[in-house]
Amino acid sequence: MNSLMTNLPSTPRTLLLVDDEESILSSLRRMLRRDGYQIVTATSGDEGLKRLAEAPVGVILSDQRMPGMTGTEFLSIVKESYPETIRMVLSGYTDINSITEAINRGAIYKFLTKPWDDELLRGHIAEAFQRYEMKQENHRLAAINQAMVDAISDIVLLVSMPSGQILSGNRAASESLGYLAEELTALNISEIEVMPQDMFYWEEMARESFRPISHVETEFRTRHMGQIPVAKSTALAGIGSDKVIIVIAQDLSKQRNTEHQLASANAQLASIFEATVEGLLVIGNDDQLLGMNHRFAQVWNLDQSQASSGKALLTQLGKYCQEPEESVLSLLDALSDSIGRHNGLLHRDNGQCIAWAKRPQMVRGLAAGQVFSFFPLLAAADKMPLLLD
Query: Dihedrals φ, ψ of 348, to 5°?
Result: -65, 155
Question: What are the Cα distances from residue 272, in Å, to 217, 268, 388?
Answer: 35, 6, 11
Residues in the chain, total: 389
Task: Provide the pLDDT for residue 195.
Answer: 94
Q: On the CB side of 20, how many CA atoms lie within 13 Å of its CA? A: 14
Query: Dihedrals φ, ψ of 234, to 5°?
Result: -130, 155
Q: Do residues 33 and 13 lie in contact, with contact meaning Cβ atoms separated by under 8 Å? A: no
d(CA 34, CA 322): 106
b/e string for 175-211 if b means 16 or more Cβ within 10 A? ebbebeeeebeebebebbbeeeebeebbeebeeeeee
Along the chain (389 residues), what's the average pLDDT of each consecutive run of 10 residues?
Answer: 45 92 94 92 95 94 90 92 93 73 78 90 95 88 77 90 91 92 92 94 90 93 91 82 86 73 70 84 89 88 73 91 93 92 92 92 80 80 46
CATH code for the part of the protein at 153-255: 3.30.450.20
Q: What DSSP element (H or E) covers 72? A: helix 71-81
Residue span(s) of the chain under CATH 3.40.50.2300 come to 3-148
d(CA 172, CA 151): 8
Residue span(s) of the chain under CATH 3.30.450.20 come to 153-255, 273-377
Q: Do residues 213 and 201 lie in contact, with contact meaning Cβ atoms separated by under 8 Å? A: yes
Q: Do residues 186 and 169 lie in contact, with contact meaning Cβ atoms separated by under 8 Å? A: no
Amino acid at 143: A
Question: What are the Cα distances from residue 293, in Å, to 207, 297, 318, 319?
Answer: 60, 7, 19, 21
CATH architecture of 3-148: 3-Layer(aba) Sandwich (3.40)
Task: Provide the pLDDT for residue 259.
Answer: 60
Strand 155-160 with 244-251, pairing: antiparallel
CB under 8 A, 24+ apart: contacts of 77-83: 77/45, 77/49, 78/48, 78/49, 78/52, 78/107, 79/105, 79/106, 79/107, 81/49, 81/52, 82/52, 82/57
Task: Provide the pLDDT for residue 379.
Answer: 45
pTM of the full structure? 0.49
Fold of the CATH domain 273-377: Beta-Lactamase (3.30.450)
